Amino acid sequence: MKRFIGFIKKEFYHIFRDKRSLFILFGMPIAQIMLFGFAITNEINNVDIAVLDHSKGATTTEIINKISASKYFSISQFINKESDIETIFKKGKVKAVLNFEKGFSKNLIKDHKATIQIITDATDPNTANTVSNYVNAILQQYQKELNKDIAITYQIVPQTRMVYNPELKSVYMFVPGVMTIILMLVSAMMTSISITREKELGTMEILLVSPIKPIQVIVGKVFPYIFLSIINATVIVLLSIFIFKMPVQGSLILLGFESVLFIITALALGILISTISATQQTAMMISLMGLMLPVILLSGFIFPISSMPLPLQIISNIIPAKWFIIIIKGIMLKGVGLQYLWKETLILIGMTIFYIGLSVKKYKIRLE
Amino acid sequence: MSITVSNISKSYKSVKALENISFNVKEGELFGLIGPDGAGKTTLFRILTTLLIANEGTATVADFDVVLDYKKIRNNVGYMPGKFSLYQDLTVEENLNFFATIFGTTIEENYDLIKEIYVQIEPFKDRRAGKLSGGMKQKLALCCALIHKPKVLFLDEPTTGVDPVSRKEFWDMLKRLQQKGITILVSTPYMDEAALCDRIALIQDGKILQIDTPQAIVKHYPKKIYNVRADNTYQLIKSLKTYEYNHSVYPFGEFVHYTDRRADFNPKDLIQFLESNNLSNVEIEKTVATIEDTFMELAK
């Protein structure tokens, strides 16, 4: 036990004396959460749109006012002919053009039917889609107001309700993702680097020719990072609660327990990586390419798994991050308990046991 | 016997690192492995310190088999690898403390063993190990290898890259440790250090050329050896090599060591030959062979 404590003490010295790893440990989580929370967002705000109004009637003015009154759009200019549309898109600032047909107001009153064309710049398909949906919604609303005194039979009125994230805040989606990335990065990459560093510097040679047991080396390496990752997870949760007003519907204790579980999974992966790589560089490359990319791309953090091609959907199952994201989304946003998340939890536990078993088997008690 | 090595062979893929090596080291002996880089010294150390497994042969250290009882060996030996292998970001004291702890002891417990060495680095005990000079690093590494009072000490090229003064101090320390009953196996590429060992094994290309005391090795040098010098050493070596009776020509400090093939060699003939080759101030005198000469002769 004294040996073990001595080893852990040494590990803390390493961590606190290496400015680079300290930065990764504590700078990165805060920087990432701020970046994802503030800068990178799927929401649209103040999108510039242009209007081509052939009708110039009372109705069109009313519609235009409604649109510019919403916080999503700002009408940046009015154009007069069709050919200007192309020019204005090429400049790139305007993302959509509303084209009211000639005699829009008149047609609406006379024929009860008028057309408006919404042209969007689909170089960014997500924005284009959102913009057109939002404009549609505003038009629907307006239409309803027009029809409110007229009784129309057989009308289907869809009432959409977005549950768990009614305002569709993208930070709700990013926080679980960022938390997963950071825990993965800190835990897996840092441990794999710290073990391979011993190999690279030759100190592993001395450690091997000493009575310290492999399990003591591994646990001693991992222990400080469990501790530091828990601090990180706490910081992220606090930031998301207090800065981004993200709710935690479920139990904080369960969230903590699941986070520790995921940290251990990631650490086990880190140990596994270190047993197969000889240098710090290799360990870093494997961690980044083999862990970070799948975590970002295949975990369902950014791209929904259900819309991926089948082979990728299958692959996504072996990525621990996928299950952890399901778990934290469940706890934070839906407020569900272990009775709904036991399957994901078991999968993570299984993965952890598998990785640890594999790394103990692969851990070399000699140099070759 | 403290170390027994019998018929050890080891190869890496296509390279034969060690070929049928056998020798014994007695308890309390200071045994030297002398050979150039790539001779297989480090491989042998790694086999004896249980880090590698030999392809053939057996070995024991402190009466434990290097394969079967590797855990016991790891408790009882001190190992100082050729490359400086301490934690560079830990201070002198922290390094020593760490190694004491993982061997289940404390600095105080075995302080008398390292005292003489440690007092020299103690003024720098709060300095990071990475910032020490070469000699200091080696002294610290030796302290760390000794802190658990090992029965056998393995030192792989401990003085490579260390200045001559520190080298001498280092060997004085080894002598003192030997008096405390520790068996020491040390390797070095420096022939002058070989003379300080009780017995040495000359090793090259994975084979042992000879094992004996340094004195005996020198005494058995088969030829008469001469120190030759002239004003232009480079020209001298070139001329000597063209001399039809030369057996060996090696530069040795300011001299050239020369042996002749004839039994009735007369130095005056050689002086004449060299002077006819435009060399001036030629001097020849008999000298005694060194371990380096023996090594060169055996390695021929």
Domain shared by B65 and B170, yes or no? yes
pLDDT of residue A40 exceeding 80, the answer is no
Contacts of A211 in chain B (CB under 8 A): 71, 74-75, 102-104
Task: Please give the residue of chain B at the shortest CA–CA distance from A4.
Answer: B102
Q: Do A206 and B81 touch (CB under 8 A)?
A: yes
User: Nearest Cβ partner of B102 from A17, A210, A368?
Assistant: A210
Final residue in a domain of this structure, among B219, B253, B282: B219
Spatial distance between the Cα atoms of B25 and B201, rounded to a whole number of angstroms: 11
d(CA B85, CA B18): 24
Domain boundaries, position B280: 225-299
**Domain boundary pick from B184, B199, B219:** B219
Q: What is the pLDDT of residue A109?
A: 82
HEC profile of B180-191: CCCEEEEEECCH
Inter-chain touch B75–A211, beta carbons under 8 Å = yes
Interface residues of chain A, partner chain B, Cβ below 8 Å: 2-3, 5-7, 9-10, 13-14, 17-18, 201-203, 205-212, 365-368
**In this predicted model, what pLDDT tens digit does every residue of B88-107 receive, in sequence order?**
999 999 999 999 999 989 98
pLDDT at A126: 78
Q: What is the pLDDT of residue B279?
A: 87
Point out the residue among A201, A203, A368 whose CB comes nearest to the CB of B52.
A368
- What is the SS3 assignment for A163-199? CCCCCCCCHHHHHHHHHHHHHHHHHHHHHHHHHHHHH
CA-CA distance, B19 to B56, in Å (whole number)?
Answer: 9
Task: Tell me, letter by letter, the H, E, C secondary structure of B5-74.
Answer: EEEEEEEECCEEEEEEEEEEECCCCEEEEECCCCCCHHHHHHHHCCCCCCCEEEEEECCEECCCCHHHHH
pLDDT at B288: 87
C-alpha A256/C-alpha A233 separation (Å) is 8
Residues of chain A with pLDDT > 90, as a percent, come to 17
Kindly state whether residues B29 and B173 are assigned to the same domain: yes
| A153 pLDDT higher than 80 | no
Is residue B207 domain-shared with residue B231, that is, in the same domain? no
CATH domain A47-147 topology: abc type-2 transporter like fold (3.40.1710)
- Whole-number mean pLDDT of chain A? 86
Number of structural domains (chain B) is 2
**H or E, element range at A70:** none
d(CA A341, CA A335): 11
Mean pLDDT confidence for A260-276? 92
CA-to-CA distance for B253 and B250, rounded, in angstroms? 10
Closest CB to A210: pick one of B74, B86, B90: B74
Is the same domain home to B182 and B199?
A: yes
Q: Tell me the CATH number at B246.
A: 3.30.70.2070
Q: Tell me which chain A residues have a C-beta less than 8 angstroms from the C-beta of B99.
A: 206, 210
| For residues A253-271, average pLDDT | 93
- Residue B215, Cβ neighbours under 10 Å: how many? 10
Q: Are residues B183 and B276 in the same domain?
A: no
Q: Do residue B70 and residue B142 come from a single domain?
A: yes
* Nearest-Cα residue of chain B relative to residue A211: B75
Could you give the count of Cα atoms lying within 13 Å of A219 in the half-sphere of its Cβ? Answer: 10
How does pLDDT run across B20-67, given as a tens digit for each residue? 999 999 999 999 999 888 889 999 999 999 999 999 999 999 999 999
Q: Assign residue A164 a region: left if phi > 0, alpha if psi is -120 to 50, beta otherwise?
A: left
Tell me what pLDDT residue B254 has: 86
Helix axes A171-184, A320-329, angle to 10 degrees: 140
d(CA B99, CA B145) in angstroms, rounded, equals 8
Confidence bin at A293 (pLDDT 50/70/90): confident
Q: Which residues does chain A have within 8 Å of residue B81's beta carbon, measured at their own beta carbons?
A: 202, 205-206
Question: Binning pLDDT at 50, 70 and 90, where does residue B197 land?
Answer: very high
Same domain (yes/no): B122, B97: yes
Inform me whether the pLDDT recorded for B187 exceeds 80: yes
Considering the domain architecture, whether residues B194 and B59 belong to the same structural domain is answered as yes
Question: Which chain B residues are within 8 Å of A18, Cβ to Cβ?
Answer: 89
pLDDT of residue A41: 64
For residue B91, the domain's CATH number is 3.40.50.300
Q: How high is the mean pLDDT of chain B?
A: 90
- Strands in chain A per DSSP E: 47-53, 73-79, 96-100, 116-120
Residues pairing with A120 in the sheet? A96
Is the pLDDT at A149 greater than 80, yes or no?
no
Mean pLDDT to the nearest integer, A134-159: 78
The confidence score (pLDDT) of residue B84 equals 84
Enumerate residues 6+ apart whose C-beta is below 8 A from A18: B89
Unique residue bearing structure tokens 């953090």: A301
Q: Rounded to an integer, what distance in angstroms lies between the CA atom of residue B38 and that of residue A287?
A: 35
Beta pairing partners, B24: B4
Chain B residues inside the 8 Å CB shell of A209: 49-51, 74, 77, 79
Same-domain status, B38 and B98: yes
Residue B196 and residue B274 share a domain: no
Q: What are the backbone dihedrals phi and psi of residue A342, each rounded to the nearest 5 degrees, phi first?
A: -60, -30
Give the pLDDT band of residue A151 (cuts 50, 70, 90). Answer: low
Residue B296, classified by CB atoms within 10 Å of its CB into exposed (0-12), middle (13-18) or buried (19+), is middle
Q: Same domain for B175 and B199? A: yes
A6 closest CB neighbour out of B52, B101, B144: B101
Q: Which residues of B touch A (CB under 8 A)?
A: 46, 49-53, 70-71, 74-75, 77, 79, 81, 83-90, 94, 97-99, 101-104, 144
* Chain B residues touching A367 at Cβ < 8 A: 46, 51-52
Residue B196 sits in the same domain as residue B260: no
Burial class (CB in 10 A: 0-12, 13-18, 19+), A69: exposed
**Is pLDDT above 70 for B157?**
yes
Write out pLDDT tens, residues B238-282. Answer: 899 988 888 999 998 889 999 988 888 888 888 888 888 888 888
Average pLDDT score over residue span A263-268: 93
Which of B156, B185, B219 represents a domain boundary (last residue)? Answer: B219
